[in-house]
Homo-oligomer: A and B are copies of this chain.
Amino acid sequence: MKKHNFSAGPSILESNVIRKASQGVLEINNTALSILEISHRSSEFTQIIEEAKTLTKELLNIGDDYEILFLQGGASLQFYMAALNFSRPNGTAAYIDTGTWSTKAIKESEKIGKTITVASSKDKNYTYIPNNININNNIDYLHFTSNNTIYGTQFHTFHKLSQLAKQNSAKLICDMSSDIFSKQIDVNQFDLIYAGAQKNLGPAGATLVIVKKESLIKNGNLPTYLNYNTHIDKKSMFNTPPVFSIYVSMLTLRWLKSLGGIKSIEQENNKKASLLYNEIDNNPLFVGIVNKEDRSKMNVTFDIRNADHKLKFEKLCLENGINGIYGHRSVGGYRASIYNALKISSVCFLIELMRKLKQII
């Protein structure tokens, strides 16, 4: 049975990317060697990682004042690493709290120095993006999560945050784990962007970091692995990088380019989100969970109005190959993650099932 993979991450990858990845495990570039067993210093891998960096720059229109890094440890290690590299002695770090991931980032910053939350949507279980941001302190940086995978909220513009950071002479840092490469962005607004690969980029195990070189303070006392300058100096080859995850990420970036770049995939993503939210709003059995204007175009959270219909809907999904549709335990309900690689046909199929539910209840 064909699966429609709505998993929140690790998540769907494009089918040709998967086929090529599988082939690369058998043999890479006619070397009679697997991608898994070649040296990271080999010309084969050097070309792969360089192509991954070049494609990232090309797709997101990034200049040479930024460095592209492929690290390990996921966003969870970046929470600490970002704070460590961007905090000044006796400085203050400012965070916008949009739930789970922001909360975890705040916790790591608090281990380093003074940390303030300048806006939060905690009062309504993170069902909206807070607009009212007050910065009264002198801050080192402003940190936010562009898309909250769990609650299904998303910042649709970075303009205000960028302005706020500028007005406060602060750096702007963003965890873009779950919406990077899904829409056009202006990287120049940021000093640091980080993202776990396992949503729109590749398999779990690689972490993409985009860092503005001149924004970094040189500090040789930081733990070597946790110092962005280490990885900039060594071009992401300070230690053995996650070779396979980077290879598959490169294949995904090639696919994005072949589609016509981020502009094209953004149009597709807009269509998918619009179709699905439209169904949620018009199908009387379902209800959206978050504020309409803050709805994520990557993670669509919704619920069934009548709890009696839950089991029937879930059975329908299961019988029809819908994978990964359950909401996170802290939200409940359902979550359809409609990342880049998920086809519009899968969204339409889910909508069909949502309509079918009306007939069988």
Which A residues are within 8 Å of any B CB, using their own CB?
A: 1-3, 5, 7-13, 18-19, 21-23, 25-26, 31-34, 36-40, 72-77, 79-80, 104, 107-108, 111, 196, 198, 202-206, 221-226, 238-245, 248, 321, 323-324
Interface-central residue, A238, A241, A323, by most chain B CB under 10 Å: A323
A238 to B80, CA, bound (A): 14
Contact present for A225 and B76 (CB under 8 Å): yes
Chain B min CB distance to A165 (Å): 25
Partner of A80, one of B2, B74, B226, B245: B226
Q: Which residues of B contact A238 (CB under 8 A)?
A: 76
Instruction: Give 10 A-B contacts (CB < 8 Å), ordered by A residue.
Output: A2-B32, A8-B39, A18-B36, A18-B37, A75-B239, A76-B225, A108-B224, A204-B240, A205-B242, A244-B244
A76 to B31, CA, bound (A): 29
Closest to A75 in B: B239
Contact present for B10 and A37 (CB under 8 Å): yes
Q: Which residues of B contact A221 (CB under 8 A)?
A: 111
A72 to B72, CA, bound (A): 6
Contact present for B225 and A73 (CB under 8 Å): yes
A56 to B8, CA, bound (A): 30
A196 to B72, CA, bound (A): 12
Q: Which residues of B contact A32 (CB under 8 A)?
A: 1-3, 321
Closest to A220 in B: B111
Contact present for A242 and B204 (CB under 8 Å): yes
Closest to A2 in B: B32
Contact present for A80 and B225 (CB under 8 Å): yes
Contact present for B7 and A224 (CB under 8 Å): no
A241 to B73, CA, bound (A): 8
Interface-central residue, A23, A25, A243, by most chain B CB under 10 Å: A25
Contact present for B37 and A26 (CB under 8 Å): no
Q: Which residues of B contact A19 (CB under 8 A)?
A: 26
Contact present for A204 and B3 (CB under 8 Å): no
Assess A73 versus B73: contact at CB under 8 Å? Given A7-B37, A204-B242: yes
Partner of A76, one of B26, B34, B196, B239: B239
